[in-house]
């Protein structure tokens, strides 16, 4: 069974640009959660999508958004990038939801210059 | 809200040593998970353990839900065990996000 796939793995952007990250969950998993990890803040929950609907959202500004497609693949978008958005973005797949057993992808490491 | 605390924050051991990592949580939980984050950043699911004991090779975990703690045991450490170990708890009164500990950074020296 294939694991969780995140693309791209690494990317560099400049302030003001926008970025889209992709996550393909484990086959059969309908829940996809997104996390931001920075050295100072640890793992922060961004949002969860379940069956194409945003079910839960963390405490992040509206510049952070996401969506989920009918095949459960999910994308997250960050608009008007700021230096502080530099982080590792992790996607987690689950058969039940954001508080169930989670399986993570390798992450997308974003650097904002 | 629930607090999740991990100890120790850092641990340096020689290859072959055994270790015990602890995760305390301040309130009742629906489940408790342990993860290993490797040096490249990927989080590996180790155990999903709401209560009781589970073993997987050299690793085992025990959660005592009534006393609000979980332990992760690593025996015969290898250099590949290095990384950060996180525990994450699902609070009883919230069904939308896990509460994460700050992690234990483990370094295994050859």
CB pairs under 8 A, 24+ apart, for A61-70?
Answer: A66/A34, A68/A32
Mean pLDDT of A55-76: 95
Q: Which residue of B has its CA nearest to A31?
A: B96
Query: For position A23, what pLDDT does the model report?
Result: 98
CB B17 within 8 A of CB B97: no
CB atoms within 10 A of CB B53: 13
Query: For position A1, what pLDDT does the model report?
Result: 64
Beta bridge partners, B61, equal: B54, B72
Q: How confident is the model at residue B102 (pLDDT cuts 50, 70, 90)?
A: very high
Q: How confident is the model at residue A98 (pLDDT cuts 50, 70, 90)?
A: confident
Report the C-alpha dihedral over residues A45, B70, B85, A103, rounded to 10 degrees. -50
Q: Looking at CA atoms only, how far is residue B48 from chain A in angstroms?
A: 6
**What percentage of chain A carries pLDDT values higher than 70?**
98
Q: How confident is the model at residue B40 (pLDDT cuts 50, 70, 90)?
A: confident
* Mutation for testing the B interface, residue in A9, A42, A43 having most B CBs under 10 Å: A43
Average pLDDT, chain B: 94
Instruction: Indicate if the pLDDT at residue A41 is higher than 80.
Output: no
């Amino acid at each position: 069974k294939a694991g969780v796939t995140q693309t791209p793995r690494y990317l560099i952007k400049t302030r003001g640009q926008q970025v889209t990250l992709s996550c393909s969950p484990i086959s059969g998993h309908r829940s996809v959660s997104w996390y931001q990890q920075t050295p100072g803040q640890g793992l922060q929950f961004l949002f969860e999508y379940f069956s194409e609907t945003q079910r839960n959202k963390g405490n992040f500004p509206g510049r952070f958004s996401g969506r989920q497609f009918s095949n459960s693949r999910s994308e997250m978008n960050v608009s008007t990038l700021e230096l502080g958005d530099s982080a590792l973005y992790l996607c987690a797949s689950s058969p039940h939801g954001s508080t169930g057993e989670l399986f993570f992808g390798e992450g997308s490491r974003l650097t904002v210059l | 809200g629930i607090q999740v605390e991990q100890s120790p924050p850092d641990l340096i051991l020689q290859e072959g040593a055994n270790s015990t990592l602890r995760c305390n949580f301040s309130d009742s939980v629906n489940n408790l998970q342990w993860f290993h984050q490797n040096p490249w950043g990927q989080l590996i699911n180790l155990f999903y353990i709401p209560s009781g004991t589970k073993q997987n090779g050299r690793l085992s975990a025990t959660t005592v839900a009534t006393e609000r703690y979980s332990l992760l045991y690593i025996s015969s450490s290898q250099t590949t065990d290095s990384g950060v170990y996180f525990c994450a708890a699902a609070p009883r009164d919230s069904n939308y996000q896990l509460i994460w500990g700050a992690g234990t950074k483990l370094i295994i020296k050859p």
